[in-house]
Amino acid sequence: MTADRITEPCYVSDHADGRPPVSTYRCRYCRHVHDGSAPHCPLCGAPIDITARVTDSGWMEQPMIADMTRLRCGDTRCQIAGTIVPVVEFDLGRGDWIYFSLHALLWTDAVTTVRTMAYVNADALRDRQTAGLSVIMLEAHGPGHIGVSDNHAGELIAVPLGRGHQVLAHPSRFLCATGNVAYDWQRTGIHYRKWRGAERESEYPIGRYHDSFAARDKQGLLLLHSPGNTFVRDLGADESILVQPSSLVYWDATVNLALHLEHPRNAGVPNANDRQNYRIIWLRLGGPGRVAVQSVYEPAESTGKLDHFSFGSIRMW
């Protein structure tokens, strides 16, 4: 990959006094650590002279993939075209294949084989359809060329997956993945029930399901689409952060998710019982692992009497 901003490299120190070893470099795109001797990252292909500018709190902005950037994952190669509504154009060799949602297909040539992805669990497929998620997934097998796009303004996020690496993602962020990346979906378990008048309804701040992607026997490539700027943070084993639920883009499978409710003091609330109806809903992410959030999101609804919620925490102040 190439980038539109070139600055000083970011080094990871193994010395007690913090001196950066010359031969150690952490890639800004995939976070892979290597000796820096090659002109590009051996895992994702990004140039090694890109700085991972990290804030004091540990956040780093995920760099936007520049127009005409070429990505590679094993024998699979693709090129990014455009910046406002980016398109991914794949050059598939014989034996290479990708999969994607039906709405993402932009164009394909006549020699590319496109077919519907088969699902093993029919019951889970019906649950996914009930939840309003995409149920038709397509496979494109080489040789041939194909273009996919989310057809909305935003940024593409490349997530290289090493062997055995698993990440979870918001279903609406998925664009495409290489064939060696296993695909599944899971129930989030993050929910609460509240009374709206005389009716009780369940709310799922991050959706009822999330997608699961895991590299099988070799490296894989996952491409996501984010409608806003994306920020990444690597959480330690004892670190946790609070984010807006709908801002979550993807996270490592090792990261724990739970609800957190804040009940701030309000001068207009007459008693403590009414304070229970006024709250701020957060999602608590606990390490270790990498998390990514976006700057465009919809705040979770916070009104109504809460009846039950999934395991989480509450703070009143």
Residue 77 has pLDDT above 50, yes or no: yes
Side chain identity at residue 271, one-letter code: N
Residue 114 has pLDDT above 90, yes or no: yes
Residue with the bigger pLDDT between 225 and 189: it is 225
Mean pLDDT along residues 217-225: 89
pLDDT tens for residues 17-30?
A: 443 433 466 676 67
Residue 297 has pLDDT above 90, yes or no: no
Mean pLDDT along residues 253-282: 72
The band of 202, judged by pLDDT with boundaries at 50, 70 and 90, is confident
pLDDT tens for residues 23-50?
A: 466 676 676 777 666 777 777 777 665 4
Mean pLDDT along residues 59-67: 74
Mean pLDDT along residues 150-163: 88
Structure tokens at 134: 């995409």
Mean pLDDT along residues 206-212: 86
Residue with tokens 């795109």: 29
Q: Which of 69-73, 172-176, 239-243 has the lowest mean pLDDT?
A: 69-73
| Residue pair 99/141 in contact by the 8 Å Cβ criterion | no
The band of 250, judged by pLDDT with boundaries at 50, 70 and 90, is very high
Q: Residue 223's pLDDT is what? A: 93
DSSP assignment of 89-142 equals EEEE-TT-EEEEEGGGEEEE-TTSEEEEPP-S-HHHHHHHHHTT----EEEEES
Beta bridge partner(s), residue 181: 215
Q: Residue 1's pLDDT is what? A: 35
Listed in sequence order, the DSSP H helices in the chain are 122-130, 272-275
Q: Which of 119, 158, 123, 124 is nearest to 137 (CA)?
A: 119
The band of 87, judged by pLDDT with boundaries at 50, 70 and 90, is very high
Label the pairing between strands 312-316 and 305-309.
unpaired
Q: Residue 125's pLDDT is what? A: 63
Residue 264 has pLDDT above 70, yes or no: yes
Mean pLDDT along residues 171-175: 88
The neighbour count for residue 287, using CB atoms within 10 Å, is: 19
**Mean pLDDT estimate for the chain:** 77
Residue 203 has pLDDT above 60, yes or no: yes
pLDDT tens for residues 269-281?
A: 555 555 556 678 8
Percent of the chain residues topping a pLDDT of 70: 69
Residue 251 has pLDDT above 80, yes or no: yes
Q: Which of 157-171, 196-210, 245-259 has the lowest mean pLDDT?
A: 196-210
Mean pLDDT along residues 230-240: 89
